[in-house]
Amino acid sequence: MALQAFNAEVFGYREIFDYANDAMIIHCAHTGDVLEVNRQACQLYGIKREALIGLRVGDLARGSETYNHETALKVIRKAYEEDVLLTFEWEITRPDGSYRPVECNLKRLGGQFSGLVLAMARDITDRLRRDEEDRQRDQDLNHLARLSLAGEVSAAIAHELNQPLCAAVNYFAGCRNRLARETHSRAEVMWGMEMAQKELERAGKVVSVIRNFTTNKRQSPKIIGIREMVESAYEIIKVQIQSALAQCDLNIQSDARVLCDVVLMQQVISNLVANSLDSMAGNDRNSRRLSINVQRVRADTVEVSVVDQGSGVPEYLKEDHFYKMFYTTKEGGLGLGLSLCRKIVKSHRGTLNITDRTDGERGTVVSFTLPAFDPY
């Protein structure tokens, strides 16, 4: 019955069907069997038309837990019963045992009683390879930017490590001196050991934060409270703030959850704070204050902003260099900062903006938004 309907309704379009750029397969909506194919389908699957017709849809799938006959048949029936265009990615198998990723579109063919579903597929191997190359390039650029930032604050990081290490040495020395006495207080020695342990744990935390920040490993996005994310970024940048003899206020008015790559968002906040410190470098110590603010601007959106007392939006940003990679006015700079920040925020479905302050004070406001995972 289904094949007769196909012959009646589609035969007049045979030439268009055969010479279409995409692989086209007509399936029985009830069994998933292949009823007809065009030339591109034969080329895609590496199988002649006579051998393709009559196969089950599962015979053409990879056969894994994700790509199998039951899953394919369920999608085919959904497209037929709901008469909607379904688009999804799939993996097919070829006679040589290799697999190919394809993008498929399914749509009911004919009326509600035709029993036919048209599948259009195209090989996306090259597209996925280009996407992976783009992701790897972005990952490498982000890593380079983080290493650059870590290099800029290396002296401050060394100082931050030196303090707890020296304190631990002093505590250990005190314990040794007390143990060298014929009579010593066990409580005093235990106290000294505990204090030394706390100082070493403090140093370990600094090392751990910097190591995670500078690693070149792709991180999986995770759900995290915006407060935790901002505070973790502050742990990275606070040594540079102290080194610049500046003050930073954390003003966190929302703890909305967001879905993000934590390391990349740490990179964004760290870059924005570093830029603010650069812009305030010529100020006197009383005018080197910045703030990191977090607030809900809409029910489904949270905003993070960095406000400083610098000289305002630089001319090179007004000239649209904001969007140009490798553009920099900093001696020895890589020109990766704001351009990468914008790209990172965009990849998280947010926006990044830079404006002069509007509260009557001199300075710049750089803000970015993220979708809230728990909108009220």
Domain termination site, one of 86, 103, 123: 123
pLDDT, position 127 = 87
213 and 106 within one domain: no
Q: How far is CA 123 from CA 17, 67, 187, in A?
A: 18, 16, 73
Statement to judge: residues 95 and 27 lie in one domain? yes
Let me know whether 190 and 338 are in one domain.
yes
pLDDT mean by block of 10 residues, the chain; 376 residues:
54 72 90 90 90 87 81 90 88 87 89 87 88 72 61 58 78 85 80 85 70 60 90 80 86 91 81 86 88 92 93 66 44 50 84 89 91 73
pLDDT of residue 230: 92
The domain total for the chain is 2
Given this model, what pLDDT does residue 167 score? 78
Residue 18 belongs to a domain? yes
- 312 & 356 share domain: yes
84 and 228 both lie in a single domain: no
Q: Tell whether 182 and 240 lie within a shared domain.
A: yes
Residue 70's domain is classified under what CATH number? 3.30.450.20
* Domain co-membership, 99 together with 153: no
297 with 151, same domain: the answer is yes
According to the model, what pLDDT value does residue 305 have?
A: 94
Q: CATH number for the domain including 212?
A: 3.30.565.10
Residue 42 lies in a domain: yes
Task: Round to whole Å and give the CA distance between 184 and 196.
Answer: 18
- Structural domain boundaries enclosing 148: 133-371
Say whether both 293 and 356 belong to one domain. yes
- Same-domain check for residues 66 and 38: yes
Whether residues 149 and 76 fall in one domain: no
Nearest of 224, 177, 179, 172 to residue 199 by alpha carbon: 172
What CA–CA distance (Å, rounded) separates 333 from 149? 10
pLDDT at 159: 57
113 and 137 housed in the same domain: no
Q: Quote the pLDDT of residue 302.
A: 94
